[in-house]
Amino acid sequence: MPEPTITALIIEDDKTQWPIYEGLLTPLGVSFHYASECDAGLKMAQEFDYAMIFMDLGLDRCACEASVSSLADGIACYERLARATSVPIIVASVFVGTWLGVGVFRKMQPFSVLEKPLKAREVEAVVAAVLAARGTRGVHTHG
């Protein structure tokens, strides 16, 4: 397993998703910190030099299923992050491809949008794109 070369922030309120990120990012040489809610993630983004931020767009103030209200909370979090940092934000969402998501993502214009469940090749491609944009080499890929 390669030594981590860059660090990502993952803002994800569903802690069952954390091992999925770990399994996808560790082989790419990406270390990570987690935040389970927006305020903590915003604070961490301002205090640490992250290479990228992965954020769940379905952040919710309650522990309920993805809904329009959780989408609104996620959008508000994204907007706060985008104003506070220039770090590339990668949105991960179950809303990709839905009537809700299409207009939302067009307006937000994140660095990238990934559909959940996350797929290794898509995560690998977005990490490589972030590194290329930063002028960083050495993303570890798998065949």
d(CA 9, CA 88): 10
**pLDDT for the residue 30:** 96
Which positions ≥6 away from 107 have C-beta within 8 Å? none
Cα–Cα distance, 74 to 133 (Å, whole number): 25
Give residue 65's pLDDT. 46
pLDDT at 139: 44
Predicted pLDDT at 44: 97
Domain boundaries, the chain: 6-134
pLDDT tens track, the chain, 143 positions? 455 579 999 999 999 999 999 999 999 999 999 999 999 999 999 999 999 999 998 776 544 445 556 777 888 899 999 999 999 999 998 877 765 666 677 778 899 989 999 999 999 999 999 999 988 654 444 33
- pLDDT for the residue numbered 3: 55
Helix (H) or strand (E) holding 89: strand 89-93
User: What amino acid is encoded at 10 in this protein?
Assistant: I
Stated pTM of the model: 0.84
The count of other CB atoms within 10 Å of the CB of residue 3 is 8
Report the pLDDT value the prediction gives residue 68, as an integer from 0 to 100.
56
> What CATH topology corresponds to 6-134?
Rossmann fold (3.40.50)
Residue 99 pLDDT: 56
**Both tokens assigned to 37:** 């809610």
